[in-house]
Amino acid sequence: MLDFIRRLLTRHFGLKVLSLGVALLLWWSVTHEPEGEVLLNVPIEFYQVPKDLQFSTEVAAQVQIRVRGPARVLRELAQSDIHPVIDLTGATRGEHIYPIRASSIHLPQGAEIEQIIPAQIHLSLDRPEQRDVPVRARITGALLSGFHISAITVVPPNVKIDGPSLRVGLIESALTEPIDATGVIGSATFTTNVYTTDPLVKIISPQPVRVTVVTQKSTAGVE
């Protein structure tokens, strides 16, 4: 039995020593590899957003994550590998604060999170609402001396908007892009686009509108 063990240990002894040396060299290079830090801007992923609710506050699209680890790992680390996840399962209408936990972020082996900025996200959720609002034309420019605008018509006169209920309720009208009426005599029709001043309130089926500006010569006492 002892002879068998002796032969097992001494057979190809040179190769075994070489393999052991290579393994020790690899271990030493990994354990003694210099460490560094990187600061990454990564997008936030929201899971299970309730279908009957909408974000009623502008949500941070991304966070900064400070990652520490071996230089080799950091060089190979792509932003697409990191996804902070916030689970909205069971979320209700109102304001909520969700922490961004390091445990919810997957990193390659050897890398670790040093800091997350911001460490939590403030969200406000509201039920969606739709309603019709009038379109208000934005007229700019200078008319000829002695003329004034006597009428403005918009076709279609109203558009339907959609968004969080509270913010939809604050919208009094949709606006056209600025329309330059400089030098208009009689009437002129312009085709332009419409928008809302709230980025969280959208126009349903947006399409260009036609704005007709009518001018006439001012009478005495009228500018």
pLDDT digits (tens, 9 = 90+) for 6-15: 555 556 556 6
Where is pLDDT greater, at 67 or 157? 157
Confidence of residue 222 (pLDDT cuts 50, 70, 90): very low
Q: Is the pLDDT of residue 34 over 60?
A: yes
pLDDT digits (tens, 9 = 90+) for 128-185: 999 999 999 999 999 988 899 999 999 999 999 999 999 999 999 999 999 999 989 9
As annotated, the residues of the chain forming the CATH 2.170.120.30 domain(s) are 33-126
Confidence of residue 31 (pLDDT cuts 50, 70, 90): low
Q: Cα(116)–Cα(95) distance, rounded to whole angstroms?
A: 22
**CATH number, domain 128-217:** 2.170.120.40
Q: Cα(186)–Cα(174) distance, rounded to whole angstroms?
A: 26
| Sign of the CA dihedral with 123 first, then 127, 128, and 130 last | negative
Query: 194: Cβ–Cβ under 8 A, 6 or more apart, which residues?
Result: 135, 159, 174, 175, 176, 177, 203, 206, 208, 209
For residue 136, give the H/E element and its range. Answer: strand 128-136
Q: Is the pLDDT of residue 209 over 90?
A: yes
Q: Cα(44)–Cα(217) distance, rounded to whole angstroms?
A: 58
Q: Is the pLDDT of residue 223 over 90?
A: no
| Average pLDDT for 79-85 | 75
**CATH number, domain 33-126:** 2.170.120.30
Burial of 100 (0-12, 13-18, 19+ CB in 10 A): buried
As annotated, the residues of the chain forming the CATH 2.170.120.40 domain(s) are 128-217
Contact 174, 147 (CB under 8 A): no
